[in-house]
Chains A and B, each alone.
Chain A
Amino acid sequence: MTADNRQMWAELGIDLERHDVLLNALGPIYQEIYLSQKDRPKGMGFFDFVVGDIHGIRVKELRQHAVNGGKVVATYCVFVPEEIVWAAGAIPVGLCAGAQFSVPIAEEVLPRNTCALIKSSFGFKLGRICPYVQTSHLIVGETTCDGKKKMFEILGKYQPVYVMEVPHKKTKLSRELWHGEVLAFKEVIEKLTGNAITADKLAQAIKLVNGRRQALQRLSNLRKNSPVPMSGRDALLVTQVSFYDDAARCTQTVNALCDELDARVSAGQDVAPLDAPRILVSGSPMAIPNWKLHHLLETAGAVVVCEESCIGTRFFSDLVPENESGVEDQLQAIAERYMQIHCACFTPNDERLDDIVRLVREYQVDGVVHYNLQFCHTYANEAVKVKRALAEANIPLLRIESDYSEEDAGQLRSRIDAFLEIIRK
């Protein structure tokens, strides 16, 4: 298998030497953060397998798809309407942008004081160390932050990039703009694939993606239980993997995991002591393999029960209505669904504050950890409003600003310990 993979990576133009260093680093980290956990659900075995062969089996599937004439469309953001991609017979794949490894590579080109997510994603392309990027025919960017917006222009010199304009207000005008963007995206994808998007195909795609969302919602709902049946780390991983795995298979594996968790809940089986502080993590996205904060929180004795994040509720909360019949109405429904995402790129974005307070109640949360990537200005500034809203609701809050490097783990641990001491008293 390894020799097979190497051959494939070489064909994809991967920098094999650098890529080896990346993969060799992942194993021990995964062992420490994931495999060392006790009493994990058996259903996590699938996800362990997927991460264990992170650049192998799924890439092989995508390549096979390409060999058969299909297209692969890479994305970085939950705003890109993947239904349209599936409906054209292409496969969308969420790219990882959560590794420190590619950051120094990106810093050879991008300004250093750019958020780690932007640098990591760019570094993967520049360093030729991500086979998903290499396999994709089109990268779809968006305008959710200025740093990404400008990075996509530079990325476009290396690989075809198309940028969707996500509006920054929630007014009627903005919604119309976004609707137009969704229509334009459909044309881009039709042109890329040579396939017309019909109402039937779009209906199937909507059902497919909704199915995965429902499975992830089910998983999320199970975490409302006390004792909680799975660790926050494991839940985070499931969501991260769902960005790039096949949607139908993902629905199946997540539902199978949920069946097991149902049984755990009935049996009162826990992964953390009943008095472990229950934490909601809110803020900037955590792209795979960014497991740093969850790991720190859970090894300090807390348990993460919910993520108000693009790798959490913002990804799977709302469904696209399945009752529309014509392509035009379907696209309208799709556009409206995506405008429900309460990203900090919007002004104002008070719905997000309401979401956080509501989720705190629903998930029996003891404290919120607001996470923002260093230089992520939208989330950093919105945190001021989060702080006020939570103070008003009398909910403890810890603000963490960090990046992908490990150097600040000691300082973060001090804050986390002190925060848990406050909650526990």
Chain B
Amino acid sequence: MRCCGLDVGSRTIKLVTSEGGVLDSTIVDTGANPLERCRDLLASRTFDRIMVTGYGRYLVTSALGGRTVSEIKAHAVGARYLHPDCRTVIDIGGQDSKVVLLSDEGQVTRFEMNDRCAAGTGRFLEVMANTLEVDIRDFGGLALSASSSVQINSLCTVFAESEVVSLIAQGAERSTIAGALHGAIATRISGMANRVGHRPRVILTGGCALNGCLVKMIRERLGTDTVAAPDPQIVGALGAALLAGKESPAGICKPPGNSVS
């Protein structure tokens, strides 16, 4: 049976097709019309079942059909599939970040999400990289190269940007400022993880897990076995695809691909 997992995030849409293992994965920008993007993505694919997760899950299923699962469960299932010893998932996405605690059997027992602002999310890093005129893909490397350190106190994206502008005006090195920004976000994320009560092994998922500096800083702050999932952006879509395969057939709506005329 061929299953699709579709993760409609705030910044990117991820699609995973699985049949036992991962057959295919795609990442596209969400853009201004996520529904159209999803239609396009699905139009060229054949599959038996689909499960949709992410911020735009209801938008998509209400138009195209299919079932939904929360990002929290989807990331938990995906991370657990990739790392059977995973007990904690930290997903840092474009719009929010979450810490999910799993039982030994892999069930979600507790979770926490950051509150309605960009602090502690990929968006925060994007805005800051932009202010420092650094490509987001090079941002972690730049931060790791810092030879001195300063503190960024604001976690509000807007206020932190003002702090960055002041630091630039004071002549601080870009790498130093980048390090401080990564430190601020890592402190916030690990604080959230401590509140939930993390257990090893901690798996980082979401686009920010591609940032080696952030992974390192979170690992240092948690003081526990922490690694980034391979291909961290597609973990939620993978989890959704796996869950689609587990669903009882009676509970499955028509695959959205079939409803696209």
Q: Which residues of A contact B (CB under 8 A)?
A: 401, 407-408, 410-411, 413-415, 417-418, 421-422, 425
Instruction: For the complex formed, measure the closest distance between the CB of B93 and the CB atoms of chain A, giving whole angstroms.
Output: 11
- The CA of A413 and the CA of B61, in the complex, are separated in Å by 15
Q: Check B116 against A408 for contact (C-beta < 8 Å).
A: yes
Instruction: For the complex formed, measure the closest distance between the CB of A375 and the CB atoms of chain B, giving whole angstroms.
Output: 12
> Assuming A410-B55, A422-B108, A425-B107, is B116 touching A417 (CB within 8 A)?
no
Q: Can you list 7 A-B contacts (CB < 8 A)?
A: A411-B96, A414-B70, A417-B68, A417-B72, A418-B72, A418-B108, A421-B69
Provide the residues of chain B in CB contact with A417, threshold 8 Å. Answer: 68-70, 72
Instruction: For the complex formed, measure the closest distance between the CB of A380 and the CB atoms of chain B, giving whole angstroms.
Output: 11
Instruction: For the complex formed, measure the closest distance between the CB of A355 and the CB atoms of chain B, giving whole angstroms.
Output: 23
Interface class of chain B by DSSP? mixed
| B42 within 8 A of partner (CB) | no
Provide the residues of chain A in CB contact with B70, threshold 8 Å. Answer: 414, 417-418, 421
Of A401, A411, A418, which is in contact with the most chain B CB atoms at under 10 Å from its CB? Answer: A418
> Assuming A410-B55, A414-B71, A417-B68, is B116 touching A422 (CB within 8 A)?
no
Contact of B109 among A407, A414, A415, A422 (CB under 8 A): A422
Q: Which residues of B contact A (CB under 8 A)?
A: 55, 58, 68-73, 96, 107-111, 113, 115-116
Provide the residues of chain A in CB contact with B73, threshold 8 Å. Answer: 418, 421
Interface class of chain A by DSSP? helix
Q: Check B115 against A401 for contact (C-beta < 8 Å).
A: yes
- The CA of A129 and the CA of B70, in the complex, are separated in Å by 40
Q: Check A421 against B68 for contact (C-beta < 8 Å).
A: no
- The CA of A102 and the CA of B115, in the complex, are separated in Å by 23
Q: Check A411 against B116 for contact (C-beta < 8 Å).
A: yes
- The CA of A401 and the CA of B111, in the complex, are separated in Å by 15
Instruction: For the complex formed, measure the closest distance between the CB of B32 and the CB atoms of chain A, giving whole angstroms.
Output: 16
Q: Check A407 against B107 for contact (C-beta < 8 Å).
A: no
Instruction: For the complex formed, measure the closest distance between the CB of A103 and the CB atoms of chain B, giving whole angstroms.
Output: 15
Q: Which residue of B lies closest to A401 (CB)?
A: B115
- The CA of A408 and the CA of B58, in the complex, are separated in Å by 15
- The CA of A415 and the CA of B73, in the complex, are separated in Å by 10
Provide the residues of chain B in CB contact with A408, threshold 8 Å. Answer: 116
Instruction: For the complex formed, measure the closest distance between the CB of A393 and the CB atoms of chain B, giving whole angstroms.
Output: 15
Instruction: For the complex formed, measure the closest distance between the CB of B123 and the CB atoms of chain A, giving whole angstroms.
Output: 13
Q: Check A407 against B116 for contact (C-beta < 8 Å).
A: yes
